[in-house]
Each structure stands twice: as C-alpha cells, then as structure tokens.
Amino acid sequence: MSIRCDVGENAQIDAAVEAVLSKFGRIDVLVNAAHHDVRRGTLLEMSDDDVELLWTTGPRATLRFMRRCHPHLRGGGSIVNFGSSAQMNPPNFGSYAAMKDAIRAISRAAAVEWGPDQIRVNVIAPYTDSPNMVADLAPRGGPSSYSIPLGRVGDSENDIGRVCVFLASDDASYLTGQFFVLDGGFAYHR
C-alpha cells in the first residue's frame, strides 16, 4: 500500500498513520527515512527557511511519527530512523548534519524511555546511491567510490535495505539505541 505524505505537514502524518491502521489494524515497524534534502552550503550560507524546512521534515516529523505510532508498537515493535553519513563529515552539510544528529538524539531518548514498552529504536546513517544523494553530488561528479575503503558507494536496497530489515526483525530483538554508519568505511578514510 502506498500513501502520499508530506512529512512537513502534521495532518498528513496523522492521516498516514490512520490509513495504515485502517487497512492493517496494527503497526509493527516504523521506518523514518523521508527528509527534505537542503544541502546548500555552510552554516552561514543556509537561509533561515532552509533550516526551518530541515527541522520540520527531519527531527520534528520523525518525533511526530514515533509518538503517533508508539501505542501501536508496544509489546515488540521496532523503529528504524535514518541519519546520514553527513553526520560524520559535516562541512558544507552543517545544518543538515545537525538535524540528523537531532534525530539520533531523539532515537537514543526513545530507546531508553520506550524500552520498558518493548519498543526498539535504532538509527542508520547511510552513504548510498539514493536518488537525492546522486542528484546532490552530480555537480561534483556524482557519488565517488575513490575515498571509500570498500571501493563502492552503497546500494540502497542491498546494503542499506537489508540492514533496515534486520533491525526491524526479531533477529535484532536485543538491539536498541544503536547508531549504525553504513558507509563502506568512508568515515575512517579521510
């Protein structure tokens, strides 16, 4: 089932959650991967509107989805939130990286607060061939594998998606509050 949702609009978040509940009667897993992609430069170059858009569609939307889904995830649900490899190397991505770090902080807090409810919360920080990443890096020659120790940019479905599925599964029933950098070693090769 596909649901169109602008994560910057609270009413659309609420409607998306209600649509899932109406169709399936339950929610077992929440993956927060949507976030506007405004990476226009340094902290001084970012407009206030850009920063507000990043806040609204990132940490605020993530927290709203988490809070709306909380009652339905109790008893064994899993939340996987998306950070970014920009968190590891923020120059020219400062505001974006800050918002992704806010998602990480929200996730850690939820892992502790909601652990007694048997809700697991983890974060993935990918460096991947997603359409937004490819478009963002196109003016600079596209995603590069030259500085990635494993020699390639991550594949969204296989490298990132499989970890997401694992974290959502019962196989990861003892993992919570963790931050997984999926970047082929990029963060350590600078």
Residue recorded with tokens 């405004």 = 38
DSSP label of 9: -
CB 181 within 8 A of CB 148: no
CB 126 within 8 A of CB 160: yes
Query: CB atoms < 10 A from the CB of 172, how many?
Result: 17
Residue recorded with tokens 């359409």 = 131
What residues are annotated to the active site? Answer: 96
Residue recorded with tokens 């993530």 = 62
φ and ψ of 29, to 5 deg: -140, 140
Scanning the chain, the segments in alpha helix (DSSP H) are 10-24, 48-55, 61-73, 94-114, 131-137, 162-168
Number of helical H runs and strand E runs in the chain:
6, 4
CB 78 within 8 A of CB 119: yes
